[in-house]
Amino acid sequence: MLKHILRTLLLLGVILSITSCSSDSTDAPEAQTSLKLELKVVPENIQVKEYKHLKISFKELNTGFTTTKELTNTNILQTVLPSGTYHIIAEGNIIYDNSGLTEAKVSGVQTSLVINGSESSKTIDLALKAGSSSDLILEEIFFTGTKTPQGAMYFGDQYFKITNNTDQTLYADGMLVIQSSFMTNEKQEYSPNIMANTFSAGAIIRIPGTGTTYPVKPGESIVIAEDAINHQDFNPLSVNLTNANFQIFKEDSEDIDNPSVPKMLNVFEKMVIHTQGYYAYALARLPQGMTSDALLGQNTYTYTYNLTFGGDVYPMDGTAVKIPNEWITDVVNLSVQDSFQWLVTSPALDMGWTSVTSFDGDKNRFGKAVRRKVIGQTLEGKNILKDTNNSTVDFEHGVKPSLFN
């Protein structure tokens, strides 16, 4: 009788064990995708002779899975990845024919690229990467505005802080400050697609001067204010911008004019600084002797796209000014973390983006700015700012503006 009970218990244990194993075996394995990724230099007239070395970094946006692959003497990657939606960064060196063999750095970014199925083929464009800036750069952008003690929104105290990060005296005269035509939170298939070679400007202002009117010494800065007044007279939680170097003044509007502060020259459209970012801002130098009128006459273009809303498609168009990438000295892509869709510049100009807040409409965004990281000091005690052409790693986000007390 005891043997029969023991045999029954043993048999029951075996059945439970088998059942448990069977249950485990029904878990679906993680989906894998065999990926063929081609890295292609644009524009196509660049005659690549050799892809010396390429590094490709993958980050799956839902799980956080990351991996890095490296290629030598090829631009085709064959790999297997967990299926998902990826942010991909590619960087490396090529040799191309430029009336003689030239080595150059290249880079490319792809955001929210879906990789699924058993097999997938994708292409990422690479652009010639701009070198370290030898001109003025955007150190800080204060775009959010402030709030009054009563909780009301207050604008007009926004500003750009532009800094000489070199060891030579530079002149601000003629520098363009540009707001992108396209928004980082609204990706469209714009035609023509000229982003690989140019920056599409939706608004342009220009620093006045004859060429040597406004020197900026190494480590020093200039401030361009939306309104160059003491905003604390109207909002004690704001800032005094009466000492700004320049002011943005919009003709044919009820704008505030401080007669003691030079006005920026309005070149194209009216620059309205978005309080949540959503645009890229750039600095640029025109070729020697080019006037603002010549810029508009030679570089204004019309783009088209299809706006999809509620299942309907609406043909749209717009006008912008194309600024060749080689004229750009610095770019900062701005956005909001949960609304970001794409970079509105070539990755040759900016490999990343920065923000003040993590979600659209954050009421805590007011009174905060983005500002470049300080990586050291010169022998004269001037800050050395980080400038790797990647706003994600170059900037502190959501910080107190430097001009606030």
Residue 65 sits in which domain range?
A: 32-128
Q: Both 144 and 223 in a single domain?
A: yes
Provide the whole-model pTM: 0.79
Q: Both 87 and 205 in a single domain?
A: no
Q: Both 265 and 373 in a single domain?
A: yes
Beta bridge partners of 141: 160, 370
Q: Both 309 and 210 in a single domain?
A: yes
Q: Both 181 and 119 in a single domain?
A: no
Where is the domain boundary, 101, 128, 155?
128
Q: Is residue 68 part of a domain?
A: yes
Q: Both 86 and 212 in a single domain?
A: no
Where is the domain boundary, 109, 128, 147?
128
Q: Both 357 and 218 in a single domain?
A: yes
Q: Is residue 197 part of a domain?
A: yes
Which of 130-144, 152-166, 298-312, 350-364 is least confident?
130-144
Where is the domain boundary, 128, 157, 191?
128
Q: Is residue 186 part of a domain?
A: yes
Residues near 110 by Cβ (< 8 Å), separated by ≥ 6? 86, 87, 88, 122, 124
pLDDT in tens, 262-284: 999 999 999 999 999 999 999 99
Q: Is residue 161 part of a domain?
A: yes
Number of structural domains (the chain) is 2
Q: Both 117 and 169 in a single domain?
A: no
Q: Is residue 17 part of a domain?
A: no
User: Which of 18-32, 93-107, 120-134, 300-314 shows the highest mean pLDDT?
Assistant: 300-314
Q: CA of 140: how far to CAs of 11, 162, 376, 380, in Å? A: 74, 7, 17, 21
Rounded-to-integer distance, Cα 187 and Cα 274, Å: 17
Q: Is residue 18 part of a domain?
A: no
Rounded-to-integer distance, Cα 342 and Cα 344, Å: 6
pLDDT in tens, 21-77: 444 444 556 899 999 999 998 877 788 999 999 999 999 999 999 999 999 999 999
